[in-house]
Chains A and B, each alone.
Chain A
Amino acid sequence: MVNFDRRRFLGLGLGAITATLAAAALWPVWRYLAPGEESGAREKTAVPRERVPVGGALFIQHQGHPSVLVQYAPGEFLAFSAICTHLGCIIQWHADKSEFLCPCHGGRFSAQGKVLGGPPPRPLDPITVTLDGDRVLLG
């Protein structure tokens, strides 16, 4: 009799542990499969046109990352990640030569983000740009 009660108690304990572990397993599976929220990370950044001179560039934060908006010709805008594709330094814009220069190891990029010289292995990561009246939208 005592044996039987003890066994019931142990069985209940085991059942509780198994149920807890099963729930603990199902929660991650649910979160894993559930679609992610369209969070603010996908927000567009709006920049007033006049802040970017013709032939000049403006360095801003877009979705939390250093980015650059360049007006390489009147009304023609391009945006890129301002992170050099070599080792991660922040590039600078040289308006006189109409190109980006990385101060760390001299990597050069064209206004279109293509590698002109130096160690960078890939062009700058582009960011979509749309014109909206007197604003430029990134992303």
Chain B
Amino acid sequence: MKPATATITLLLLVLLVPSAALPSGTVCLQCHGAQTGSLGEPVTLWKGSVHEANSVSCHGCHGGDPTDVAMAMSPERGFIGVPKESDIPDFCGRCHVGVREDYLESAHGRALGSGGPTCVTCHGSHRVVTATIELINRRDCTRCHEYGRAEEIKSALAATDGSIATLERTLADLRRIGVTTKETDGELFDLRNRFHRLFHSVDVDKVRAGTAAFRQELDRIKGRVDAIQLELNHRKLWGGAVVVLLLLGAVLALLIYRSYRRER
């Protein structure tokens, strides 16, 4: 579509669609959100994604001006549009720098453009959610090859991934009662990201060797969290003793009162 036609179409759509039905936010969301079919689908998919939760919107990946209808899809304002298959890793890799490196070095990366998977093959393009180990599964991986090695890698990752998830939950519980976990949160996040990067090399030996080092780091973080929990348990113990003493005192005082009342 020529830029002029596109602009006029955009303007017409924005003017004609009743504003009550428009989702608020960028012009991208306002226009595409009001459409049906393949043009409107990305908005529905994006809602609820980890990108939406972190305020990464359309223009963050596709470029363009999110405030100006006329320039929303203009290459002048950096609009990239839909990337070609072989450009996808670079597209996502502008932010996900580390993963892109590992991917390009891997067997998957080397197969890019000749039937190999890109980022969106496993992660989706708009409904991207926080990565879990379940992205490695028989149904998806056997689309291209047999499951054997993927299964090996998955089991090598599983234990550590489980520990990371447990630790994240523990930290959330601590945060819930007011413990400052910010620095440990960051450390764990860093660890989790570097750990998940490890998979993208799809190299069983590399994953196995790397997992050991990660376990060590994880144990160190866990040690610190355990120390916090130990301290909290200590407080409970002392607190229990205080409560018992107070209750005992109440009983004694009551008995003294009773003894005086009996006298009179």
Residues of A that sit less than 8 Å from B by CB = 3, 6-7, 10-11, 13-14, 17-18, 20-21, 24, 65, 83-84, 87-90, 101-106, 118-119
Residues of B that sit less than 8 Å from A by CB = 54, 56, 94-98, 101, 182-183, 185-190, 193-194, 197, 242, 245-246, 248-249, 252-253, 255-256, 259-260, 262-263
Whether the pair B95, A105 counts as a contact (CB closer than 8 A) is yes
Neighbour of B252 across the interface among A17, A90, A105, A106, CB < 8 A = A17
Whether the pair B186, A88 counts as a contact (CB closer than 8 A) is yes
Neighbour of B193 across the interface among A11, A89, A106, CB < 8 A = A89
Give the chain A neighbours of B56 by CB distance below 8 A.
Answer: 119
Give the chain B neighbours of A6 by CB distance below 8 A.
Answer: 259
Bound Cα distance from A1 to B246, whole angstroms:
28
Bound Cα distance from A101 to B263, whole angstroms:
83
Whether the pair B262, A3 counts as a contact (CB closer than 8 A) is yes
Tell me whether chain A's interface is mostly helix, strand or loop, or mixed. Answer: mixed
Give the chain B neighbours of A10 by CB distance below 8 A.
Answer: 252, 255-256, 259
Neighbour of A89 across the interface among B54, B186, B259, CB < 8 A = B186
Given A10-B259, A106-B96, answer yes or no on A87-B186 (Cβ-Cβ < 8 Å): yes
Bound Cα distance from A122 to B38, whole angstroms:
38
A106, closest chain B residue (CB): B95
Minimum Cβ distance to chain A for residue B128 (Å) = 13
B256, closest chain A residue (CB): A10
Bound Cα distance from A106 to B253, whole angstroms:
67
B245, closest chain A residue (CB): A17
Minimum Cβ distance to chain A for residue B78 (Å) = 13
Whether the pair B97, A14 counts as a contact (CB closer than 8 A) is no
Whether the pair B262, A87 counts as a contact (CB closer than 8 A) is no
Bound Cα distance from A88 to B168, whole angstroms:
14
Whether the pair A104, B262 counts as a contact (CB closer than 8 A) is no
6 shortest interchain CB distances as A-B pairs: A88-B186, A103-B98, A106-B95, A89-B190, A17-B249, A14-B252
Give the chain A neighbours of B262 by CB distance below 8 A.
Answer: 3
